[in-house]
């Protein structure tokens, strides 16, 4: 912390202490009782031998003696006061009384003759005036200095004591390998220079929000143990043209003095957008800032030992000059984690949390498809908060289930009451989705069904892909649309009525159908890409789409979409009519329990009823899982359940061998 800041922080306390002492002195003086008498009254008391002691203070400027004292019948806080003429006979009379041992006399010097007092009275006001003037002048100078620092860099040096390393970054194995070269170069640059290798000057981390781009950059700096400057792209751009360019120059000047070092620019799309494009025209300040950044990265000057890492989730709007070789010539895709990555991320965030015995991180990873690292951290934090709220000593699956629903849909609105008719309608709507999810191979797998309102939804069916895949077939997309139609079909068949509850289902189904026709070439129009998303730089990403077709083709696209939707709707009707008993069974179970999980659904389909409370339901009851299919964490959990000693130090092969005889 700055010493000047400490001093400024102590000044108010010093003034408060002085004021408190002054108030105490004033209060103490006010508590004393002073009796004002005349000189003649004093003489009378002195002749009565009633004076105990006096203190004489000469006042030469007023030609009097000030006399304070006390009488024998006074209390401790009581005294008398009088003024006597500054004459020799008065002093002689008082001294004679002291000689006769009538009372004690103390004398004090004239305060007006004190050099210190003279200085205080005459010099102190001038000092105070000078100090006040100096204070206001220094404030004006600081303001002027701040205005002069307007073009200084806003990049901050990371000085945190606990440095982030690759051990704190989970689920990004390939991404860490990509940036490992940067760490080796910062540690041993001569090893690369001997072979004439040129390390990338800039690395661009691209990926959805919350995937760990900033965390990865901090880990690179922590592993390399070099200075790490971080700044946001918006910190460059100001109202006045040229300020951002000045800040870029100052940032690189500071970095050169501390080379080798890292500069991390977060949200670089705020300053690195395409120049002079879009309906909104150019932006002189941002464009000058970008030009200066391009020049500093790969201009006439050399920036040896300075590596720039930038992060963005909008690579489509960046200027092409920013991405050419010599600048950000390496792009690292930081994507959403897969199942194994999610489990590793959960293990990192579970280090300081207490879980119940039955909680398995692998099961949580299976149910969190599409979650980013930030989402998983939020999930466990919400579960911990719920456990504290419920006064539990450990986090159980009940808290994790509730936290999962809160992250996806918001808190449950238990106070919202359905009418019996509306509750039954919602139950059949969700049961319709569930029946199609169970009976169709290409549809998503039903994980949970609830009719408890959350957010804007009256209920929901959580459906996740059976497998995490990079591509989707036409059959899978079609069956996905069929699954989305299940809610409306169930309403129509059971109640002979339709509601507004399926609006989100239709929105998703229409998007899939249009993409099949215009982007994936999965219709009779042939393998053609008729539409393409165009993210406008200034007007938003999905403001418009490029349409390279005539009005006749647009009519044919609408016909093909209608054909796909109609066929899927008819197929949904056929399946639900055929499985009407299963639809009624799931709907009636929902009306009774309000929420059922995947294990309960599987048991319900097989046995026609829910299991007893004493009968635990587990996914392993319905399918055989070999030891080879389990992760290392699951093997250790299994070994713990069977009481195998020393399982935490065993390798995978040793665990499989020990469990073969027990399972």
Which residues participate in catalysis according to the annotation?
A: 430
Query: Residue 13: beta bridge partners?
Result: none
Euclidean distance between CA atoms 470 and 382, whole angstroms? 30
Euclidean distance between CA atoms 405 and 382, whole angstroms? 10
Short-list 435, 429, 562, CA closest to 488: 429
Q: Determine the straight-line distance between the first and last CA of the chain, rounded to whole angstroms.
A: 61
Q: Are 103 and 47 in contact (CB under 8 A)?
A: no
Strand boundaries in 174-329, DSSP class E: 202-206, 228-232, 261-266, 306-312
Euclidean distance between CA atoms 45 and 65, whole angstroms? 18
Q: Which helix (H) or strand (E) holds 27?
A: helix 3-31
User: Position of tokens 């003489």?
Assistant: 43
Short-list 604, 628, 594, 514, CA closest to 562: 514
Short-list 350, 367, 311, 301, CA closest to 598: 367
Rounded to 5 degrees, φ, ψ at 630 are -85, 150
Q: Are 406 and 378 in contact (CB under 8 A)?
A: no
Count of helix runs (H) and strand runs (E) in the chain: 22, 16
Give the neighbor-by-neighbor strand order of the sheet with 306-312: 156-157, 228-232, 261-266, 306-312, 202-206, 330-333
Angle, helices 173-187/213-224, rounded to nearest 10 degrees: 30
Short-list 130, 66, 645, 327, CA closest to 654: 645
Q: Please classify residue 52 by burial: count the beta carbons closer than 10 Å to its beta carbon, then call 0-12 exposed, 13-18 middle and 19+ buried.
A: middle
**DSSP codes joined into one string, 361-414:** HHHHHHH-TT--HHHHHHHHHHHHHHHHHTT-SSB-HHHHHHHHHHHHH-SB-T
Short-list 637, 166, 627, CA closest to 365: 637
Q: What is the DSSP letter of 627?
A: G
């Amino acid at each position: 912390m700055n010493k000047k800041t400490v001093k400024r922080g102590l000044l108010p306390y010093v003034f408060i202490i002085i004021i408190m002492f002054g108030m105490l002195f004033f209060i103490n003086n006010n508590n004393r009782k002073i009796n004002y008498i005349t000189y003649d009254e004093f003489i009378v008391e002195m002749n009565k031998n009633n004076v105990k002691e006096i203190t004489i203070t000469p006042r030469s400027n007023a030609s009097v003696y000030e006399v304070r004292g006390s009488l024998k019948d006074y209390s401790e806080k009581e005294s008398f006061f009088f003024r006597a003429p500054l004459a020799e006979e008065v002093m002689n009379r008082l001294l004679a009384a002291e000689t006769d041992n009538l009372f004690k006399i103390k004398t004090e010097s004239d305060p007006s003759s004190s050099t210190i007092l003279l200085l205080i009275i005459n010099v102190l006001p001038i000092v105070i005036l000078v100090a006040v003037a100096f204070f206001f002048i220094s404030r004006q100078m600081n303001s002027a200095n701040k205005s002069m620092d307007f073009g200084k860099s806003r990049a901050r040096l990371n000085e945190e004591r606990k440095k982030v390393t690759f051990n704190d970054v989970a689920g990004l194995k390939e991404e860490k390998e990509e940036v490992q070269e940067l760490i080796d170069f910062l540690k041993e640059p001569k090893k690369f220079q001997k072979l004439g290798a040129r390390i990338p000057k800039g690395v661009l981390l691209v990926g959805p929000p919350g995937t760990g781009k900033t965390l990865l950059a901090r880990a690179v700096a922590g592993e390399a143990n070099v200075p790490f400057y971080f700044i946001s792209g918006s910190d460059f751009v100001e109202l006045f043209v040229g300020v951002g360019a000045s800040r870029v120059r100052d940032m690189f000047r500071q970095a050169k003095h501390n080379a080798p070092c890292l500069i991390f620019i977060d949200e670089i799309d705020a300053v690195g957008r395409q120049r002079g494009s879009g309906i909104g025209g150019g932006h002189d300040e941002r464009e000058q800032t970008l030009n200066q950044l391009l020049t500093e990265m790969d201009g006439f000057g050399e920036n040896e030992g300075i590596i720039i890492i930038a992060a963005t989730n909008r690579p489509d709007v960046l200027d092409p000059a920013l991405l050419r070789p010599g600048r950000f010539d390496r792009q690292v895709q930081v994507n959403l984690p897969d199942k194994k990555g999610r489990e590793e991320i959960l293990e990192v965030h579970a280090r300081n949390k207490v879980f119940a015995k039955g909680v398995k991180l692998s099961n949580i990873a299976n149910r969190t498809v599409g979650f980013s690292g930030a989402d998983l951290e939020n999930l466990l934090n919400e579960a911990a908060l719920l456990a504290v709220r419920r006064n539990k000593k450990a986090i159980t699956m009940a808290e994790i289930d509730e936290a999962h629903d809160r992250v996806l849909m918001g808190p449950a609105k238990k106070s919202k009451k359905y009418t019996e008719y509306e509750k039954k309608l919602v139950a059949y709507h969700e049961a319709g989705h569930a029946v199609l999810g169970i009976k169709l191979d290409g549809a998503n797998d039903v994980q949970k069904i609830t009719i408890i309102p959350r957010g804007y939804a009256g209920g929901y069916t959580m459906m996740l892909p059976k497998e995490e895949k990079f591509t989707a077939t036409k059959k899978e997309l079609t069956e996905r649309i069929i699954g989305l139609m299940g809610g409306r079909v169930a309403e129509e068949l059971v109640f002979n009525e339709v509601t507004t509850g399926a609006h989100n289902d239709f929105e998703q189904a229409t998007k899939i159908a249009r993409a099949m026709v215009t982007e994936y070439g999965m219709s009779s129009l042939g393998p053609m890409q008729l539409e393409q998303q165009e993210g406008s730089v200034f007007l938003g990403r999905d403001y418009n789409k490029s349409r390279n077709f005539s009005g006749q083709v647009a009519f044919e696209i609408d016909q093909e979409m209608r054909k796909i939707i109609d066929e899927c709707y008819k197929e949904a009707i056929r399946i639900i009519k055929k499985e009407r008993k299963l639809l009624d069974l799931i709907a009636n179970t929902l009306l009774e329990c309000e929420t059922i999980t995947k294990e309960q659904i599987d048991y319900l389909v097989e046995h026609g009823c829910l299991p007893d409370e004493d009968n635990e339901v587990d996914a392993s009851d319905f399918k055989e899982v070999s030891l080879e299919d389990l992760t290392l964490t699951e093997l250790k959990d299994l070994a713990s359940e069977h009481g195998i000693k020393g399982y935490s130090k065993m390798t995978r092969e040793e665990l499989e061998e020990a469990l073969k005889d027990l399972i």
